[in-house]
Amino acid sequence: METSALKRLQVQRFKPEENPEIHYLNSERGLWSWLSTVDHKRIGLMYLASIAIFFFIGGVLALVLRTELLSPAQSFLDADVYNQVFTLHGAIMIFFFLVPSVPAALGNFILPIQLGAKDVAFPRLNLASFYIYTIGTVFTLVAIITGAVDTGWTFYTPYSTETGTNVLLMTLGIFILGFSSILTGVNFIVTIHKMRAPGMTWSKLPLNVWSLYATSIIQVLATPVLAITLLLLVMERALGIGIFDPALGGDPVLFQHFFWFYSHPAVYIMIVPGFGVISEVISTFSRKHIFGYWAIALSSLAIAFIGFLVWGHHMFTAGQSSLASMVFSFLTFLVGIPTGIKIFNWLATMYKGSIDLKAPMLYAMVFLFLFTIGGFTGIMLGALSVDIHLHDTYFVVAHFHYVMMGGMVMALLAGLHYWWPKMFGKMYSEVYARISCALIFIGFNLAFLPQFVMGAQGMPRRYFNYIDQFQPFHQLSTMGAYIMGVGFVIMFFYLLHSLVRGEKAASNPWGSRALEWQTTSPAAPHNFEHTPVVIHGPYDYHKPMSEFQLGIAHGHHGESHQPETLETVAETGTRP
C-alpha cells in the first residue's frame, strides 16, 4: 500500500452517456438473474419492493385500526383481534419496513455509487442478507397466519411468556431479521472504509454516506443485544429459564433494559439514514454548498453514540430506580443537541439558496416541519415528571408517528423521488407528485395532531374502547388516516405510470454535483464505465460541472486502457 498521501493521477473527462442501451436493469434478463444477482443496485430494488409490500400491509392494518376507533365500543373488531392488529401493525412497520427502508433499500442502491465503487465490499453477503430478511419475513408471516401475536411489538415479559399466541415463531422471525440487519451494517462499514474511489477522502464523503456509516455502527452494536434478548425470550418460552419471569425468581424489568438497549438505538437506525437523504436533497435543490458539512457529519455519529445512553426513558414508569430515571432523563435531553445542529444547518443551507420546489424538496420541507414537532415532543416526553403523566397515552403515539412517519417515511419518499430517475431512468409526474405530497401532509397532520391533544387529556394508547369525550379527536384522526391513504394510492399509480410510460430521464436531471449523478440513468452494470476520480466535494456548486466528471479508463483485470485525450491532470489523494 502506498505510503505517500499524494500521487499524480492522469485523468480524463467522462461525460455520462444519455439513455444508455445497456444498463443494470437490462444487462441480464429473467427472473433468475434477479434472484441470484450480487449487484447491489438490484438487491436494493428487491429490498425496495419488499418494504413497499410491507408498508402496504402495515398501512392497511393501520386503516383497520383507525376504522375501529371511529366510534367508541366495539364496531367490527373485538378486543383480542384489535390487540393482534396493532401488534402486527407495529412489528411490521418497525422490523420489516422502517429498519430496512433507507439503509437496505436506498442505501444498498446508492452507497457504492456515491463512493465510486463497483459494488459493496461483500456482494454475496449482501445477497445473503436479503435472503435472510426474506426467511425472517416468512417466519413472521407463518406466525401471523397460524395465530397472531397480541403482545405489542415490544414483547414485554412476563405477558409474552404466558400468552397463548405465536410469540415463539414471531420472535424467531425477528431474530433472523436481526442477522440481516447486522450483515448489512458490516458490509456498509467495510465498504465505506475500503472501497472509496481515488480522491474520495473522508472530507468529501456525501453526507448520506456519513449517516449510513453512523446507522451501520448502531446496527452492528445494538442488534446483537436484541438477538440475545429474543433468544432469552425464546428460551423462556421453550425451556422456562426464568431470567425474566418473576414467578421463577427472575426480573421482568431486566428484559426491558435489554430490549430497549437495542430498540432505543434502533429508532436512530430508523431516523439517522433519513437525515442523510435530507442533507443531499436540500443541498441539491437549494443549488448551494451544504452549510456546516462537518457539523452534520459528526452530529450523525454523536446521535449514534448518545442514542446508546438513553434507553431507560422508556421505563420511567416500569419500576426502575429513581436514580436511573433521573440519569436517563438528563441524558435524553442531550440527544436534542446534535439533532438541533442538523436542523439549523439545513435551514442555513436553504438560506439564500435558489430553492427549486420539486417533489423531493417538498418532502424534505415536510420532513423539516414534521420532524421538528416530533423532536420537540420527544424532549417533553424525556422530562421525567411530564412523562409520568404522558406515559402510554396517545401523546406518545403521536410523538413517535411524527418522528417515524413524519421523519423517516418523508425522508424515504424524498430519497425515492430524488433517486427514482437513477434507479429506473424514468421521470415521474411532477404534478401528481405534488398533489400526493400535499395530501399526505394534510392527512398526516389531521391524523396525529389530535392525538397529541387527546393524549394530554389522558386517552391511553393500545385501547380499543374510549369514553365519548375523545370521539371528535378519534374521528379527525381516522379522516386524516384515510386522506393519507388516498395520497399513497395516488403515489402508487403515478410511480407505476412512470415505470411503464414515464419520460426518459437525463443522467443528471437535478443538476447535482454529487458523484451518483455523473453516471448514466439507469446506472451502468458496474456503476461507472471508468474509475471515477474525485477532486471536489459533492456539494461544490461553485465549481464547473466538467470537473466532477473525471476518471481513469479501466478495463477488467488484465486489459489496460491508455487515455486518449487528457483534459485535466489533477493532484489527488490516493485510496487510504
Minimum CB separation of residue 115 from other proteins in Å reads: 11
117-148 core/surface letters (b: 16 or more CB in 10 A; e: else): bbbbbbbebbbbbbebbbebbebbbebbeeeb
Grid coordinates representing 515? 458523484
Pick the closer one to other proteins by CB: 251 or 567: 251
CA distance 171 to 233: 8
- State the virtual CA torsion across 459, 460, 463, 466 in degrees, nearest 10: -20
Minimum CB separation of residue 257 from other proteins in Å reads: 5
Pick the closer one to other proteins by CB: 11 or 454: 11
Minimum CB separation of residue 24 from other proteins in Å reads: 14
Minimum CB separation of residue 106 from other proteins in Å reads: 20
Minimum CB separation of residue 183 from other proteins in Å reads: 8
Q: Work out the end-to-end distance of the chain between its first and last CA atoms, rounded to an integer number of angstroms.
A: 8
Minimum CB separation of residue 87 from other proteins in Å reads: 24
CA distance 125 to 109: 15
Minimum CB separation of residue 557 from other proteins in Å reads: 3
Pick the closer one to other proteins by CB: 82 or 262: 262
Pick the closer one to other proteins by CB: 247 or 496: 247
Question: Under 8 Å CB-to-CB from 139, ≥6 apart: which residues?
Answer: 169, 170, 172, 173, 176
- Fill in the DSSP letter of residue 17: P
> What's the gap between Cα 27 and its chain centre?
29
Pick the closer one to other proteins by CB: 164 or 558: 558
> CA–CA distance from 101 to each of 165, 293, 413 (Å)?
28, 24, 10
Pick the closer one to other proteins by CB: 147 or 242: 242
Question: Under 8 Å CB-to-CB from 31, ≥6 apart: which residues?
Answer: none
CA distance 441 to 444: 5
> Burial level of 2, CB count in 10 A (0-12/13-18/19+)?
exposed
> Burial level of 203, CB count in 10 A (0-12/13-18/19+)?
exposed
Pick the closer one to other proteins by CB: 119 or 516: 119
Pick the closer one to other proteins by CB: 507 or 531: 531
Minimum CB separation of residue 218 from other proteins in Å reads: 10
